[in-house]
Amino acid sequence: MKDITNWEMLSKFPKLKIINSMYIWLIIVPLMAKFFAEVGVNQDHKLILKMFEATVILDLKLPFSWVAFYLSSVCFVIANILVLALCPKIFKENDNFGEFKSKGRELGNLVSYVSDSTDPEEKKTSQRKEIIKEVRAYMDEGSSSTEIESMVYLDLCSQLKSQSAGLRTTVFVFYAFGFILLAWVFLENFKYVVTNM
């Protein structure tokens, strides 16, 4: 089973359309809540608007929870901020080695990704030396530069994707709560629609 709490997987969440659309709800939900509070909704959950001698009645009876929807968007935004701030650059900038190469990157970029690690400086220096040693070993085997870059890329990803377990777990928990709250809102509304058909 794949570890979905590694940086490689977590870096994909901010790219999901549903999560990106949640930013707008961070603004809209409080504005709509304030609007409904100011305009007033009666006990039947009906909003009565009078415009130019015409009366418009909006039925707001769906069990849509503004609070759950808002908290879901807050969870997604916090998780995205944590990913943007803490996820190693190699995962934020590249989905795979093919994308890394298509952007014209090479070995020097891989060494710079080590600097992005949250490890202590001594360990980063050790990792850089390890990459250089690894490159020399691959060169001695007669590997092409692309093969060497590919192997070093995969090794580096393997090292960086599991760093900072506590931070990764925190990010995952925020995404999980966001999805749970969002699912709850959708299920409540689905149940309401099915039972009132």
In the numeric block, which tokens belong to residue 190?
Answer: 């689905």
Q: What is the pTM of this model?
A: 0.76
In the numeric block, which tokens belong to residue 22?
Answer: 């949640």
Percent of the chain with pLDDT over 70: 75
Contact 171/86 with Cβ under 8 angstroms?
yes
Q: What H or E segment, with its residue span, contains residue 56?
A: strand 54-59
Taking residue 176's Cβ as centre, other Cβ atoms within 10 Å add up to 14
Least confident of 45-49, 148-152, 180-184: 45-49
CA nearest neighbour of 91 among 146, 158, 150, 151: 158
CA nearest neighbour of 110 among 142, 165, 151, 163: 151
In the predicted structure, residue 50 carries a pLDDT above the cut 50? yes
CA angle 113, 115, 116 (to 5 degrees): 65
Q: How large is the average pLDDT for residues 110-132? A: 67
Q: What is the pLDDT of residues 7-39, one digit of tens each?
A: 989 999 998 898 888 888 888 878 877 776 666
In the numeric block, which tokens belong to residue 2?
Answer: 């794949």
Q: What is the pLDDT of residues 134-180, one digit of tens each?
A: 766 766 776 667 777 788 888 888 888 888 888 999 999 999 999 99
DSSP bridge pairs for 183: none
Q: Assign 48 to helix, strand or coil.
A: strand
